[in-house]
Structure 1
Amino acid sequence: MKKAAVMLSLALASSALAAPSGEITVWSWDAAAKALESTIPSFNKKYPNVKVKVVDLGNQNVYDRGLAGCAAGGVDLPDVYTIENNEAEVFWARFPDCFTDLNPLGADKLSKSFPAFKWTELSVGNKRFAMPWDSGPVVVFYRTDLYKQAGIDPKKIVTWDDFIAAGKKLNAKFGNKVKIGTISNGQDDEWFRMLANQNGCFYFNNAANAVTVNQPGCVTALDTIKKLYDAKVVATGDWGGQITNFKAGTVASALYGAWYEGTIRTNAANQKGKWGVYPMPAAKKGGPRAANLGGSALAIPSASKNKEAAWAFVQHALATPEGQIAMLKSQGLVPSLLAATKDPYINQGQAYWSNQKIWKTILDTLGDVPQARGTQYFQDARQIMTVVQADFISGRYKSAKEALDDAAKKISAATGLPVGK
């Protein structure tokens, strides 16, 4: 009888694992929330007894309520929590017990299904606290008509010097009224982060134990931004200003993570057929033409009362081509799952983008993106670097190295981490 009881218990446990049920709540925001909702129909074909409720709380509110919930021991947290990669380590460092280690659920078996750089900020030791979701491989979005009028062939833009030369052609053709891009100088340092990542440099090293913002790759990145300003080929604008610029046609390009595709397409619907994409320029010929900006992940709070259903949803949305392609089609969220890059949809021309196979162009760079570590001090470093970059552009520092040495000292003072050798 005891043997029969044990066998029955195992059978029931197996059945429960194979067929989760009940209700789960997912916290997310804006396009990310809509994207997750787009995966529910196919998820429910597999798991008809699980009800998924996606709650759009807004980006900042998700972050703030997540911190508050973790501080309160998991009170009122959802079953699935959306977290931005560059903010993830704030949670792991402050609240190491707030989220579930996903390895025992099966994340360890999926590790090679994603690019290595996507796991960097989601793992602590031998634990994985979140699953990679979307990524932000950096590319140049460009107005095909404006480039053509200025005699610019995007295929010949290989280096940043080529990019500057193209910007000068735009200036000449349009009387300095159309710039080649917009930089958030003074509002953000996103261009610096993209170019630094491309050059294998970031605020911190990948061990998260030293400040490395003054290393050679970062110096090259900051020097490049200064060259763009000195050549008078870029405009300056915050997030809203950049959108205003491309809508008005006063800039002919936008350098951003690939998720910006949806921003352009939805804000400038009347420009359909006038845009294309090409890989970001390199620091020098033969150099890497890949970087990452942005991207999110899904985590399961330890307080979740239905981890089986939560994991089933996370796995379906993020670890299947079906889930990832549904979100790409729905909201333009770029897959991190390597298998999704082989989906037939990736090789389809996109009408808005002059029928170019933009997703192939974008995703072909995914495997070349260098790893970067935001650490729990990402926002501290970002605020310091934003000011230092603006001061360097305005002439306060004699060189990029001097500017970044100062940034390194300030970041070190703010974080307690030493400046790397």
Structure 2
Amino acid sequence: MSALSRRTLLRGAAGLGAMTALAACGAGGDDTAPKALTAPSSGAPLAGSITVWSRSGDLFKVFDAAIAKFRAAYPQVTVDHQAVDIDAKLANTLISGAGVPDGSFWDDAKIAGQAEHLYDLTSLIAPYRDKTAPYKLSVNTVDGKVYGVPWDLDPGLLWYREDLLQDAGVDPAGLGTYDDLLTAARTLRERNPKAKPIHLDGDPFLGQLWLEMLANQQGTSLSDDQGKLRLESAEYQKILGWIKSAVDDKLVTHQPYLKPADLAALEDGTQAFVPWAIWWDFAPQTLLTKTKGKWRAAPLPAWTAGGARSGAMGGSSFVIPAKAKNPELAWRLYEFLTFTEPGYTAVYGKNDTYPGGLNTSVPSYLPALDPAKPLFEPVDALGGQDLWKVAVDVAKTIPAAAPIPAWWAKSVDYLGNNLQKLMEGKMSPDDVLSESTKQIQRNLVDRA
């Protein structure tokens, strides 16, 4: 069950606690401007020691093995790799300045809110800018400066039951737009009157995270790079109007993410479509015993013909605290893991923890996204589908975004909850947008 523990920790219920913890850790500390980190000028061999933090669990084991590759390449460097509850510890450590690591794995959602406590990595990232997914650069950039080393990319995909679509005569290749998806759902219901084919999530946090994936497809997000709200827009109106149509036509299963009722609906054929991040693949790999091997992945539908076929849903990067003792060595480690073939292959390729490779995200470094050189193997639980090719093809289409505001987690109390009322048929799209905007502006943006 190592796959379940890793993905549940990073992507499921723990994500809610992580994002909520962020809201309590606003910017603080001294007024010193963020320091810029540049590459050391000396040509001497790398030497010294660093302490880096990663999450505990099987992801820690994967990074530990990859760091061993770095140690082998640079034998004079010592890396103290520690398993830490980063969500509970890192933000407070950055603010206090006591016991900070030299580097740490961290959620993209937290970086903008703590930029003043991190090194400005702009000049170090510069050689890799054109080779890094635009989305990952954008969420790590604050006022034109880059504060995180972009790590994983979590593209949205359309998960579907191949057997149900075949039985109803629905060609997944024809699901080019979200209107096509509604039409396909109606076709499936004609075949099975009990079907409610499209998953809408019953958890306010994950529902809002999903909404942001759909907004990112259209090149927008809850706020712009200056923190100004842009929820009342044609893009969000389009998404919420689509949700209302699906709800009004009774085409949805509205259940919390992979809870027992959701799993039952996936297994018994009630649900056939799950528009979700790549990390949903742990469900058929570990939870869906009856339908294991029947699920497949396709690009998300587009909002307009020819539009982007994916958006990002979650993600993490590496950061270097401004009070790190040896930031240059931390950078060299993260440069190795992110931008070199031995590094990213050690993480995503076959390893003792994931014999077939790590398949719940893809690298954000574009040269690593070669369809002809898969880092992880075809997935047996998806009928042997080459998930790598599907994921990397759409990952390259994900639009850039904006830094995620520090108040994002608390906005779930407004937007996330109002979105649930829309899914329950208790609120209109216009009311969700107007009320959420007023609430977030008054209670979060203005107070920040």
- TM-score (ref. length: structure 1): 0.84
Q: Which amino acid aligns with 1:381?
A: S
Instruction: Name 1:322's counterpart in structure 2.
Output: 342
Q: Which amino acid aligns with 1:88?
A: I
> Structure 1, residues 12-64: CA drift from partner, whole Å, max 9, x if none?
9421xx3233343323244542432241232233122334344333xxx4122
Decide whether aligned partners of structure 1 residues 220 and 251 sit closer, same or farther in structure 2, where only a CA change above 3 A counts.
Answer: same
Moved more, 42-51 or 219-228: 42-51
Whether 2:242 is the aligned partner of 1:224: answer yes
Instruction: Name 2:12's counterpart in structure 1.
Output: none
Instruction: Name 1:312's counterpart in structure 2.
Output: 332
Moved more, 343-352 or 279-288: 343-352
Residue 93 of structure 2: which of 69, 93, 98 is its match?
69
Whether 2:194 is the aligned partner of 1:176: answer yes
Superposed counterparts of 1:2-401, under 5 Å: 13-15=42-44, 18-57=45-84, 61-73=85-97, 75-92=98-115, 96=116, 98-104=117-123, 106-177=124-195, 179-184=197-202, 186=204, 188-205=207-224, 207-241=225-259, 242-243=262-263, 245-246=265-266, 250-268=270-288, 271-329=291-349, 330-332=357-359, 333-342=361-370, 344-345=373-374, 349-373=378-402, 374-397=404-427, 399-401=428-430
Identity among equivalent pairs (%) = 23
Moved more, 336-345 or 213-222: 336-345
Whole-Å separation in 2 of the counterparts to 1:415 and 1:117: 25
Decide whether aligned partners of structure 1 residues 44 and 89 sit closer, same or farther in structure 2, where only a CA change above 3 A counts.
Answer: same
Whole-Å separation in 2 of the counterparts to 1:214 and 1:56: 41
Q: Which amino acid aligns with 1:335?
A: P
CA shift for structure 1 position 151: 2.3
Residues 204 and 210, structure 1, Cα contact 8 Å, conserved in 2? yes
Residues 247 and 425, structure 2, Cα contact 8 Å, conserved in 1? no
Moved more, 63-72 or 144-153: 144-153
Decide whether aligned partners of structure 1 residues 243 and 62 sit closer, same or farther in structure 2, where only a CA change above 3 A counts.
Answer: farther
CA shift for structure 1 position 348: 6.2
Decide whether aligned partners of structure 1 residues 41 and 274 sit closer, same or farther in structure 2, where only a CA change above 3 A counts.
Answer: farther
Moved more, 308-317 or 21-30: 21-30
CA shift for structure 1 position 315: 0.9
Number of equivalenced pairs = 395
Q: Which amino acid aligns with 1:118?
A: K
Q: Which amino acid aligns with 1:195?
A: L
Residues 121 and 375, structure 1, Cα contact 8 Å, conserved in 2? no
Whole-Å separation in 1 of the counterparts to 2:156 and 2:366: 17
> Structure 1, residues 94-129: CA drift from partner, whole Å, max 9, x if none?
xx1x2222235x222222221222112212234322
SS for the counterpart of 1:297 is strand
Whole-Å separation in 1 of the counterparts to 2:387 and 2:315: 18
Q: Which amino acid aligns with 1:387?
A: N
Residues 179 and 250, structure 1, Cα contact 8 Å, conserved in 2? yes
SS for the counterpart of 1:368 is coil
Residues 156 and 276, structure 2, Cα contact 8 Å, conserved in 1? yes
Whole-Å separation in 2 of the counterparts to 1:121 and 1:51: 31
CA shift for structure 1 position 417: 5.3
Whole-Å separation in 1 of the counterparts to 2:289 and 2:323: 43
Decide whether aligned partners of structure 1 residues 394 and 266 sit closer, same or farther in structure 2, where only a CA change above 3 A counts.
Answer: closer
- TM-score (ref. length: structure 2): 0.80
Decide whether aligned partners of structure 1 residues 384 and 51 sit closer, same or farther in structure 2, where only a CA change above 3 A counts.
Answer: same
CA shift for structure 1 position 152: 1.9
Residues 346 and 360, structure 1, Cα contact 8 Å, conserved in 2? no
CA shift for structure 1 position 235: 1.1
Whole-Å separation in 1 of the counterparts to 2:320 and 2:442: 34
SS for the counterpart of 1:189 is helix
Whole-Å separation in 1 of the counterparts to 2:71 and 2:307: 45
Residues 197 and 253, structure 2, Cα contact 8 Å, conserved in 1? yes
Decide whether aligned partners of structure 1 residues 46 and 248 sit closer, same or farther in structure 2, where only a CA change above 3 A counts.
Answer: farther
Decide whether aligned partners of structure 1 residues 271 and 408 sit closer, same or farther in structure 2, where only a CA change above 3 A counts.
Answer: same
Q: CA RMSD in A?
A: 2.7
Based on CA coordinates, which of the two structures has the bigger radius of gyration? 1
Whole-Å separation in 1 of the counterparts to 2:295 and 2:142: 41
